[in-house]
Structure 1
Amino acid sequence: MQKSFLSAAAALLASTSIASADGVLNIYNWGNYTSPELIEQFTADTGIQVTITDFDSNDTALARVRQGGHGFDIVVPTHSYVQQWIAEGLLQPLDDAIVTDRGNIAPQWLNVDFDPGREYTVPWQWGTTGVIVNTSVYGGDINTADIFLHPPAELVGRINVIPEMSDVMAMTVYAVGGDNACTDDMEIWRQVRDTLMAAKPNWLALDYGTLDSYVAGDIAAGVYWNGASMRARLQNPDLAYGYPATGYPVWMDNAAVLADAQNTENAMIFINYILQPEHAAMLSNFARYANGITGSEAFMDEGMRTAPEIVIPEELVAAGRFSPACPQEIQDIRTQIWTGLLQ
């Protein structure tokens, strides 16, 4: 742990404002995504007690915070939503006096388009969205979106699709020949709509909490995140993660302090805490995603460095695309298609 952090933490914990916050911190994050080991260590180091509340989608998180009265201090939105959070005044700038270690952020993740100079956010985890397949059920090519859009007979009725609109829409746009997840080509969107509607009867569900079902073999394939896929494979070696050659989303989730946080200083201390390589590694070792913090690899589990869910095959690297935030008119089209799919 760096001396700069210890000094800042000691000074803040001794201050009147921290005492009035009762040493608590409330984090609003994706489910099953926060390392218990990290939280235990943070509390041991700072005395701050942490409560985690889960959300299951970016839209759910945004809607909840917009309502106010939530009591959360930190939120973890995906990159394509960050500008919306900022524009609506829902986040506050990071305190330079407390968040002193943004220099630990890897260069490619420091001056990002969605938060130039990292004024509001720091990396939490980053990864890809692809497909997961039980290879004891299906032995063909897994690097294809056909796994869920045009599934082979042995997978029909045994497919789950995560109900995360941006990821599913992007993968389908690429699969039907579009080269931009926010394309303004209406013919592409018609093909996306028709393809998804035709595919849905072949699926078992659109659900998030499916890791145990993959491990048990109750679900044989689906759209899934790379880290969750790795966690499943470690419990069932028949599971494999595929990168659709037509294109797949690359994303980054980011920690930010809410504008109406009740424990702002505690939140800033936590933000700086996860910028330390050994602490970022705790997040990765739990959730099985990369984290964007320089030097964290030295503290990661050995398996993280060679995992097929983390190390993208060289020939498929170029198919990964960092999805932008879509203009409102395109977002409306995607929402209309998505609403029809969920009915």
Structure 2
Amino acid sequence: MKYAYRLAASTALLVSVGFPALAEGQLNIYNFGLYTPPDLIKKFEQAYDVKVSVTEYDSNETAMAKIEAGGHGFDIVIPSASVVPIYIEKGLLLKSEPSQMSNFKNVNAEWVDVDWDAGRHYTVPWVWGTTGVMVNTKIYKGDINTSAVIFDPPEELKGKINVVPSMNDVIDMAIGYVGGQPCTDDKTVLKAARDKLMAAKPSWASIDYASFEKFIKEDLQASVFWSGATMRIRAENPGFAYGYPKEGYALWQDNAAILADAKNVENAKLFLNFIMDPENAALISNYTRYGNAITGSEKFMDPELPKAPEMNIPPELKSAAHFQVTCPADVQQIYTKIWTELTK
């Protein structure tokens, strides 16, 4: 989603230079920052003699704006499930029929016939994760499974909190905190969420894609954050922990899709099939620290990954999860108004 970090937005990154300029083909991938494993790209290049470039973006909104503008030259994009229906409605994705690819048999049954792409005509799974709170438990000794850490923070965290600039993640969390459901059209609930956000903002240090180093060095002590990104930081500073807010938190999946105006369609189809191989899906999880939807990938994962707290929702908090979806247009307009005011 979601959801990458310390991004090099709109910067082309040539991941491998192992092949000469005149290779058998080219593939241009557009993905969230720090979300594409170099080892995966190298392996694909060697397997198919295809030269791959990766360009990074910071949000779904940035990616869609670039793609809609045209002339981008990308073949593959990795949108979140919540925006896939918008991509499809706007005619931005190729109907590549992933369900007919040889490795589709490896997709876990629960991720096969999904609401955002019924029958999987356009997308294949990349990774899944959750959006919760991350906090330094050396500083804060209270309950971490609450978004009060962000919206009614204790004194020891005030001025040391970051909120990622991911509109739906943050507003959905605020709506849950005031007792509503994501994408609600209840004006009373939306106003309460807006008021809570505005009241909490003076206690925050930033609304930013802050660098990992700011957390590792403890310049920042808490954040609205994503599960895999938290795991990366915890590896460098074990004081940090990931919380699943009992008031509500998002479960999401990011997906790989071929763009309707892709120039290298056959190579893009090869790549979609490639990432549905269990060993290759494990490369993605090992790098991003998120789960994937490919059966059999666990045996290729880093041993600690499937057991990590960021990958295992506590049973008593599973009911607080909601899958992040596309809000109706009128509700999304209200979200945008709230977000614009909050980020002034």
Q: Secondary structure at the match of 1:338?
A: helix
Q: Is the 8 A contact 1:21 1:263 kept in 2?
A: no
Unmatched runs of 5 consecutive residues or more in structure 2 = 1-20
Q: Is the 8 A contact 2:98 2:104 kept in 1?
A: no
Residue in structure 1 matched with residue 278 of structure 2 by the alignment: 277
The structure 1 residue matched to 2:158, chosen from 150, 156, 159, is 156
1: CA distance, partners of 2:150 / 2:23 = 48
1: CA distance, partners of 2:42 / 2:98 = 25
2: CA distance, partners of 1:198 / 1:133 = 20
2: CA distance, partners of 1:42 / 1:118 = 23
Residue in structure 2 matched with residue 336 of structure 1 by the alignment: 337
Q: Does 1:86 align with 2:88?
A: yes
Q: Secondary structure at the match of 1:174?
A: helix
Which string of whole-angstrom CA distances, capped at 9 and with x for unpartnered residues, describes residues 1-45 of structure 1? xxxxxxxxxxxxxxxxxx999511111001001111111111111
1:39-118 residue pairs with structure 2 within 5 A?
Answer: 39-95=41-97, 99-118=101-120
2: CA distance, partners of 1:213 / 1:227 = 17
Residues 304 and 209 of structure 1: is their aligned pair in 2 closer, same or farther, counting only changes over 3 Å? same
Q: CA deviation at 1:177?
A: 0.3
1:230-269 residue pairs with structure 2 within 5 A?
Answer: 230-269=231-270
1:101-250 residue pairs with structure 2 within 5 A?
Answer: 101-178=103-180, 180-250=181-251
User: RMSD of the alignment, in Å?
Assistant: 1.5
2: CA distance, partners of 1:136 / 1:71 = 47
Q: Is the 8 A contact 2:98 2:123 kept in 1?
A: no
Residues 96 and 290 of structure 1: is their aligned pair in 2 closer, same or farther, counting only changes over 3 Å? closer
Q: CA deviation at 1:95?
A: 4.8
1: CA distance, partners of 2:292 / 2:234 = 20
Q: Is the 8 A contact 1:159 1:219 kept in 2?
A: yes
Q: Is the 8 A contact 1:95 1:268 kept in 2?
A: no
2: CA distance, partners of 1:22 / 1:57 = 32
Equivalent residue letter for 2:207? L
Normalising by the residue count of structure 2, what TM-score does the alignment of the two structures yield? 0.92
Residues 321 and 98 of structure 1: is their aligned pair in 2 closer, same or farther, counting only changes over 3 Å? closer
Percent identical: 51
Residue in structure 1 matched with residue 18 of structure 2 by the alignment: none
Equivalent residue letter for 2:318? V
Q: CA deviation at 1:99?
A: 2.9
Which string of whole-angstrom CA distances, capped at 9 and with x for unpartnered residues, describes residues 255-300 of structure 1? 0000001111111100100000000000000000001111111111
Normalising by the residue count of structure 1, what TM-score does the alignment of the two structures yield? 0.92
Q: CA deviation at 1:100?
A: 2.5
Equivalent residue letter for 2:228? G
Which string of whole-angstrom CA distances, capped at 9 and with x for unpartnered residues, describes residues 120-142 of structure 1? 00000000000000111111111
Which stretches of structure 1, 4 residues or more, deviate above 6 A after TM superposition?
none
